[in-house]
Chains A and B, each alone.
Chain A
Amino acid sequence: MSDASLSDAGAASPPLAATRPARLRLGPLAPWLLALPPVAFMLAFYALPVLGMLSRAVLDPGWTLVHFQALGDDPVFQRVLWNTLYLAVLVTLGTLLLGYPVALLLVRARRMAPLILLLILLPFWTSVLVRSYAWMVLLGRHGLVNEAMLALGLLDRPLRILNTPLATQIAMIHILLPYMILPIANTLRQIDHSLLRAAAGLGASPWSTFRQVVLPLSLPGVAAGTLLVFVLSLGFYITPALVGGPRDTTLSMLISQQVDQLNWAYAACLSAVLLATALVIIGVFAKICGLGGGAFRMSAR
């Protein structure tokens, strides 16, 4: 084989050494050539469009910061931002409180483990739209919750739950729970059981073993779950729009409304604020817990 190739090269130009480097030159370049198509695609159809849109915040019409300055005394923006952050905090706390026991249950279970996993994954795999729709059915005026409570005599007329902040909170906690459960379960699963036996052997009660051994060791998972749920809930649109009240607008909804009114500069400002908030939180978590964007690999369903 090498003979054939050598004579090829020799025919082109006599000194072999002169033709060989040309063949090799592709070697170091290969990764760049491989990266070129995906990078060009992402730049053309995602990054540059988003950056172009964001630039409207400071380039409308010329270079200006007035749009950002206007946010400072814009009561609508401030109410919406506050509402969005409040919702994100509440949902994060809710998923943490409800998710931790499920993670424990999943890791502890043996025979039931596949069933538990299925009960977590089935909603996880279902689209946000379908799950929001399910909550419309459940919480509606003639929904299951109202009908059941009427039937049990707990109520004498249907309660208004759908289209209130409570509905948004319940539905978002439901939708984001798996993002909290799975990272926590991952760290719990990695805890060496001999540590727990050692703690028990040293006289720790089950509760203090949990508090002093299990809980601290699971904190990386808690941090990852918290980061994921918080950042994802900041950008929620579909669920609050479908099940929430007319007054509890989130940043995403406000952005969408501004685009509908072709108010691009304002929409771009809001987008920049939303994106910056997410990035700051990720940065803070990276600083404190050493978590990077890596946590977001979990967001693959």
Chain B
Amino acid sequence: MDGVATVLAGAGAAVTLRGLEKNYGGHGAVRGVSIDIRSGEFLTLLGPSGSGKTTTLMMIAGFEQPSAGELLIDGQSMLGVPPHRRNLGMVFQSYALFPHLTVAENIGFPLKQRGVPKAERMRQVEEALRLVQLPGLGGRNPRQLSGGQQQRVALARAIVFRPRLLLMDEPLGALDKQLRETLQLEMRRLHAELGITFVYVTHDQEEALTMSDRIAVMENGQVAQIGTPEDLYDRPANRFVASFIGESNFFPAVMRGIEQGRVVAEFGATRLQALAGSLPAAGAEIMLTTRPERLRFVDGAPPAPGENRLSVTVREAIFAGERCRYLLEAAGGTRLVLKEASGAAIRRRAAGETAEIGWAAEDTILV
């Protein structure tokens, strides 16, 4: 396996998007996207449908021409370079395997285009098949393979010619959850072994968090935030990112000031502290957010310094195996979600109970 990987390995391409725009008859599908994708990085474009992530990918691939902006691969402008001259691999959601060719012919296709002699082609195809753990299936017809196997073939076909950049458009979208998780791990492994740059498009935030070095969250044709999975999860830049990635609780509050480097705000009659990011003026209406698993029931224990406390009523308790999920209501009708690990020693709350919850100021973000 190592031998195969070194043969196929090479430095990844660096991709620069600068003010990239795409208009369809007045409607801006992509509106000024700038991202620096580093060599060898696994970058995910994450967003709901219509956010412009696929259009952005299609512009990198060369199937769409940008209306404005610049696109560089390794410092070379790609504007006007047709797709077949960009030398990048691409994996499609529907796999796009050629139904009239065998698995081996599919994988050999890019090599044939590059004039690789037949014997050498067959050797490299067999290597690529081994790399995606499908050795010996070259003679099959793509339709005889399962969805997961087809996706592996598509992957093998996209990397067999050693591109320095691999684009993937929701490649796991059509697969069931378990298979998706297996393939996610495998793609990470491939990424590590090949050392090439991956640009991955998905609408599945869990997938993005699991696989990526960095994620660019897209909304309405723009990049809402770009950062590592931890950045995005722990320090969402705005309400959209906070609600799109993971689950979030939101507290509409009024800014009071700064104390000991922390934002102090009033949520109804309750004083809450949060990490200081931007500093709105006192009296401004602001929004604080925190993750459901960062909340816990405290039941009268004395508050630690810098801990937020809030009285709530349990509205609903849902047992979900490893966790228990509570729907809570705070004064003023704000709905909250709290996730607690399940266990024999942990008391389950019933609907209608009142309780006190607490969480750390560090887990509270101003968005």
Contacts and interface: CB of A to CB of B under 8 A. Distances in A.
Direct contact of A and B (CB under 8 A): yes
Instruction: Give the most central of A2, A6, A16, A27: most B CB within 10 Å.
Output: A2
A23 interface: yes
B82 to A, nearest CB: 7
A2 B80 contact: no
Instruction: Give the most central of B76, B80, B114: most A CB within 10 Å.
Output: B80
A17 interface: yes
A2 B77 contact: no
Contacts of A1: 85, 87, 114
Contacts of A23: 80, 82
Interface string B258-280: 00000000000000000000000
B80 A17 contact: yes
A21 B87 contact: no
A5 interface: yes
Contacts of A6: 76
Interface string A8-39: 00000000110011011001000000000000
B62 to A, nearest CB: 10
A5 B77 CA distance: 14
Contacts of A24: 80, 82
Interface string B57-86: 000000000000000000011011110011
Contacts of B77: 16-17
Interface in B210-226: none
Interface residues of B, number: 10
Interface of B (DSSP majority class): loop
A120 to B, nearest CB: 32
B80 A21 contact: yes
A20 B81 contact: yes
A6 B78 CA distance: 11
Nearest to A2: B87
B76 A20 contact: no
Given A6-B76, A16-B76, A17-B77, A27 B82 contact: yes
Contacts of B114: 1
Contacts of B85: 1-2, 5
A5 B87 CA distance: 11
A6 to B, nearest CB: 7
Nearest to A3: B87
Interface string A203-231: 00000000000000000000000000000
A20 B80 contact: yes
A16 B75 CA distance: 12
A262 B232 CA distance: 85
Interface string A145-156: 000000000000
A16 B114 CA distance: 22
Contacts of B82: 23-24, 27
Nearest to A6: B76
A17 B86 CA distance: 15
Nearest to B81: A20
A266 to B, nearest CB: 51
B86 A2 contact: yes
A23 B114 CA distance: 19
Interface in B81-120: 81-82, 85-87, 114
B63 to A, nearest CB: 11
A20 B87 contact: no
Nearest to A21: B80
Nearest to A22: B80
B85 to A, nearest CB: 5
Contacts of B76: 6, 16
A10 to B, nearest CB: 11
Contacts of A5: 85
Contacts of A16: 76-77
Contacts of A2: 81, 85-87
A263 B86 CA distance: 65
Given A20-B81, A24-B80, 8 more contacts: A1-B85, A1-B114, A2-B81, A2-B87, A5-B85, A17-B79, A17-B80, A23-B80
Interface of B: 76-77, 79-82, 85-87, 114
15 contacts: A1-B87, A2-B81, A16-B76, A17-B77, A17-B79, A17-B80, A20-B79, A20-B80, A20-B81, A21-B80, A23-B80, A23-B82, A24-B80, A24-B82, A27-B82
Q: Closest 6 CB pairs between A and B?
A: A20-B80, A24-B80, A2-B87, A21-B80, A2-B85, A1-B87
